[in-house]
Amino acid sequence: MTNESMMEHQVSSRERYAQFMEDSCCTHFCLGPNPSMARYVYALIFLVTNLLAWTIRDYGHSALSELQRLKGCHGARYCLGAEGVLRISFGCFLFFFAMFLSTVNTKKVDDPRNSWHSEWWPAKIIMWLSFMVIPFFIPSAFIQLYGKIAHFGAGVFLLIQLISVISFITWLNDCCRTEKIAKRCRIQVLVVCITTYLASVVGIVLMYIWYAPKPSCSLNILFITLTLGLLQLMTFVSIHSKVKAGFLAPGIMGLYVVFLCWSALRSEPQTEICNKKAQAATNADWLTIVSFVIAVLAIVMATFSTGIDSKCFQFTKAETESEDDVPYGYGFFHFVFAMGAMYFAMLFIGWNAHKTMQKWTIDVGWASTWVRIVNEWLASVVYVWMLVAPLVWKNRRQVEST
C-alpha cells in the first residue's frame, strides 16, 4: 500500500470515527447542553440525597460518632436522627434553591443559563457535596427553625403536586371528549371508567376490612366514609346537566382520593389497634423494607414528574413555541425540587422533629395521617371548584351585564 493510499485510509477512518461520535448516544446525552438528560441527573442527585438522609437517620448513631467534634452539633446525638435528616434536607434545599435562582426565567436554548443547567456537572457535584457538609456546622437552633419552615415548604410541594395531578386528569378528560377520539375510543374510555370506579369501590371495601375491623375504630370509619361520599359528590357534580364533564375525570379523581385515604390510614402509628396492616408489617421485615424502598422511589418520581409540568401553572395564554425554546421551565423544575427537599424531610421524621422514627419506616405518625387526610379533602374541593368555577363566573358576568 502506497503512502498516499495509507493517508487516505487514515483520513477516512478519522471521518468515520468523527461521524460515529456525532451520532452516538454518548454525544447526545453526555456532550453539550442536553436538558432532557439533565433532569434525570438531578433526579439521581435527589435520590442519593434521600438515601443519605435515611442512612443518617437509621444508622448514623454508630457511623458518625465523629460529629461530636463539630461546633454546631452539641454532641453527636443532636446531629443524628430527626435533626440529621433536617440538616441533609437543608443542604439539598440550598442546592436546588441556588439552581432555581440561577436558572429562573430561562426561555431560550442560546441563553448561557441553559448551559449551566445542562452542563458543568463537576462544579455542581462539588457544590452539592459542599451543601451536604455545611449544615452540620450550623447551630442546632437554626436547624430546628428550618424544621418549622419545612412544614410550610412541604405543604407548598403538596399543593403544587395536587394542581399538577388535577390538571393532568382534566386534560386527559378533555382530550378523550374531543369529537375525533370520542368516536374512535368510546369502548376504551368506557372500560377505563368502569375499571376506575370498581377499583375505588374495592379499595374502600378493603380499607373497611383492614383499618376499621371494629366499631370502636370510629375515626377510621369516618375517614373512609367521607372518601366514599367525596367520590359520589365528584361524580354527581361532573355529570350534572350544567357541567357535563362525563365519568372519566371523576373516576380517576375518585381513585386518587381513595389512594390518599389509604396513604393516610397507612401512616397511623403501628401501635394503633385499628391498623391491622401495620401490625402485619411489623411481623414481616421484608414487607417493611419493600414498602420503604417503594415509598422513597415514589417521592423521587413525584418530584420529578411535578417539576417538568410547569405548563399547568401558566395562567396567561401561552406563546407559540419555537425550536429554540427550552423544553421545560428550569426555574420551576428546581423550585419543585427545593420544596421536595423539605417534603422528604417531613416524611422521614413523621412531620415531627422531636419524634424518633423506627428503622425502615417513612411517613408514620398521627401528624402524617392528618396531613394526608387534609390533602385528600383539599384535592376533592379543588376538583369540584374547577368544575363549578366556569358556571359561577358566567353567572356573575350575566348579573354584571344586566
The pLDDT tens digits for 49-69 are 999 988 888 777 655 555 554
pLDDT exceeds cutoff 50 at 305: yes
Phi and psi angles of residue 187, each rounded to the nearest 5 degrees, phi first? -65, -45
CA dist., res. 91 & res. 146, Å (int): 11
Q: What pLDDT is recorded for position 284?
A: 45
Sign for the pseudo-dihedral over CA of 226, 228, 231, 235: negative
Measure the CA angle with vertex 394, ends 389 and 395; round to 5°. 100
pLDDT, average across residues 34-46:
87
Q: Please give the mean pLDDT across all residues of the chain.
A: 78
The percent of residues above 70 in pLDDT, for the chain, comes to 76
CA dist., res. 116 & res. 102, Å (int): 8
CA dist., res. 83 & res. 46, Å (int): 19
Helix-helix angle 82-103:35-63, to 10 degrees: 160
Q: What pLDDT is recorded for position 291?
A: 67
Phi and psi angles of residue 106, each rounded to the nearest 5 degrees, phi first? -80, 125
Lowest average pLDDT, out of 222-226, 246-250, 266-270, goes to 266-270
Band (26; pLDDT cuts 50, 70, 90): very low
Asked whether the beta carbons of 312 and 331 are under 8 A apart, the reply is no
Q: What pLDDT is recorded for position 320?
A: 52
Q: Please tell me which residue, 77 or 143, carries the higher pLDDT value.
A: 143
Q: What pLDDT is recorded for position 67?
A: 55
How many residues appear in the chain?
Answer: 402
pLDDT, average across residues 217-240:
91
All residues at 6 or more sequence positions from 386 whose CB lies less than 8 Å from its CB, including other chains: 166, 170
Band (213; pLDDT cuts 50, 70, 90): confident
